[in-house]
Amino acid sequence: MKLVIFGPPGSGKGTYASRLKSELNIATISTGDIFREAVKQGTELGKRIKKYLDTGQLVPDETVIKAVRNRIAKPDCEKGFILDGFPRTVEQAKTLEKAVKIDVIIKLLVPKQIIIERLSNRRTCKSCGAIYNLRALKPEKEGICDKCGGPLIQRKDDTIPVIKERFQVFEKQTRPLMEYYESKVPFINVTCNDIDMPPEEAIEQIMKELKKLNLTRTSRSD
């Protein structure tokens, strides 16, 4: 099973993808995680994309496609995968289509104000990358990671001006992508109008829709 989870920054893609990974027993591929790790390690890829991540701009197609191709080729993707953060442009989608067939797109519909509230309250552990939220998922000790004791920071792309810029970039550059996929791949739309909606509600809805499409045969329960 090959899925794409799609939505604006802060819509919950990473949270839902991690839960679906457990439900379906398939790999998750996050371009955001790939890029942040590259920046942390100071690789050539990391150096090229740092300026884009810091300002909320999209990383160029050529760089993204190369990173995703390398990731899909790994053994844990043989049974399928969930793409989080890719594709984001029609060109990326066309290139992906040459390599694999996507079974379904999960589209997260979240209002802009909820996005701003979520991301501006997000904090990330500088040491291990664990994510917290000052509103909904606070650490036991303020500013300290529960898992490793590292310092919690606010990423530059989680400040309100950059969040707004990221949202605008998303709306402008990915609208054609949705139009491209409409006649090619079935969609599962998940609406969140409540900032406190439990992730489990969305996962339950997604699993029901996957079952209707006969796409749950690769899950651990089958």
Active site residues: 13, 88, 122, 155, 166
Fill in the amino acid letter for 89.
T
Dihedral over alpha carbons 162, 164, 168, 171 (to 10 degrees): 110
Asked if 16 contacts 209 with a C-beta cutoff of 8 angstroms, the reply is no
Q: Which two tokens stand for residue 32?
A: 């955001």
Q: What is the DSSP string of the chain?
A: -EEEEE-STTSSHHHHHHHHHHHHT-EEEEHHHHHHHHHHHT-HHHHHHHHHHHHTPPPPHHHHHHHHHHHHTSGGGTT-EEEES---SHHHHHHHHHH----EEEEEE--HHHHHHHHHTEEEETTT--EEETTTB--SBTTB-TTT-PBEE--GGGSHHHHHHHHHHHHHHHHHHHHHHHTTS-EEEEE---TT--HHHHHHHHHHHHHHTT--TTSTT-
